[in-house]
Amino acid sequence: MSVLEIKNLHVNVETDQGTREILRGVDLTIREGEIHAIMGPNGSGKSTLAYTIAGHPKYTVVEGEILLDGENVLEMSVDERARAGMFLAMQYPVEIPGVTVTNFLRTAKTAIDGEAPSIRTWLKDVRGAMTNLRMDSGFAERNVNEGFSGGEKKRNEILQLELLKPKFAVLDETDSGLDVDALKVVSEGVNRAHSNTGLGILLITHYTRILRYIKPDFVHVFVAGKIAEQGGPELADRLEEEGYDRYHVAESATQ
């Protein structure tokens, strides 16, 4: 069974105002098949964690490690991490003008598998996944994320999740900006991928509402760059009622 371990992770980012410390010692272990929710207020460093796992060059790891089945992820390039089985569903997917969804998906699948997928089964898989996500077929010939609505961009992320079949996926605020119908469709896609491939999921969110559709095994509350509290799904219910206020109080008291 695969396991993703994050140990004492400290991450800095360079800004115009100088170096800022964003992550301050994150410890987290995710096993294949598990769903972990990371919840926290804006600015707590949730997205930094997501992008650091994926290897975005903006973030500098100053201490700690990330291991995938014992392999040092921090030494891998962004594309090597993806080929090792990691996936990041982005909060703001970028447009790639002139590159169609079809071409992009095939190129990514070929890179991840190390060989081109067989044309017939691949087309069937793509079409099936698109139908499940209620995406019409014209979508495939559009340029990646170009002119997509917020909901379409998120569906396109989950489409990739279903087709690329990673071992671990980080979903960075996939629920933000979605209406309830789109939220259901996207959640179904995540649950489908989970039951089909048994991947481990790190679900990063500001709100509890996506947790009505995707049931986490573990909930972590993220405050000021580290995990402030963890528990089972019941912790999410408590957050829904109380918000993050008490963590802020606790945090400022320690400073």
Partner 1 sequence: MQSTALPTPEQHGIRAHSDGPIVPVQTRSERFRSTDVADFAPITGREHEWKYSPVAAFADLTSGELDGSRVEVEATDAAGVSLSWIPRDDARVGRAGIPEERASANAWSAFGEAALVEVAGEEAKTVTVTRSGLGTTPRAAHTVIEAAPFSQALVVLRGIGDARLTENVEVVVGEGANLTVVSLQEWTDESVHLASHFARIGRDAKLKHIVVSLGGKVVRVNPSTHLAEQGADVEALGLYFSDAGQHLEQQVFVHHDAPHTRSRVTYKGALQGEGARSVWIGDVLIGNTATGTDSYEQNRNLVLTDGTRADSVPNLEIETGDIEGAGHASATGRFDDEQLFYLQARGIPEDEARRLVVRGFLAEVVQQIGDAELEERLIRALEAELQGS
Chain positions contacting partner 1, by CB under 8 A: 54-57, 77-79, 81-83, 87-88, 90, 93-99, 103-104, 107-108, 111-112, 143, 160, 164
CB count within 10 Å of CB 115 equals 9
- Is residue 65 within 8 A of residue 7, CB to CB? The reply is yes
Q: How far apart are CA 21 and CA 224, in angstroms?
A: 10
Closest CB to partner 1 among residues 8, 15: 15
Query: 119-132 and 101-113 are packed helices; what angle lies between their axes, rounded to 10 degrees?
Result: 120
Closest CB to partner 1 among residues 63, 75: 75
Q: How far is CA 237 from the centre of its chain?
A: 22
Six-digit token string for 219: 């909930």
- Compute the least distance from the CB of residue 157 to partner 1, in Å: 10
- Compute the least distance from the CB of residue 252 to partner 1, in Å: 34
Six-digit token string for 239: 């957050």
Six-digit token string for 151: 């909901």
Question: What DSSP designation does 137 have?
Answer: G
Closest CB to partner 1 among residues 165, 226: 165
Sheet containing 218-223: give its strands across: 86-89, 168-172, 200-205, 35-39, 218-223, 226-231
- Compute the least distance from the CB of residue 91 to partner 1, in Å: 12
CB count within 10 Å of CB 93 equals 17
Closest CB to partner 1 among residues 167, 226: 167
- Compute the least distance from the CB of residue 162 to partner 1, in Å: 13
Closest CB to partner 1 among residues 12, 103: 103
Number of helices (H), then strands (E), belonging to the chain: the values are 8, 10
- Compute the least distance from the CB of residue 136 to partner 1, in Å: 20
- Compute the least distance from the CB of residue 69 to partner 1, in Å: 17
Closest CB to partner 1 among residues 104, 207: 104
Q: How far apart are CA 92 and CA 154, in angstroms?
A: 9
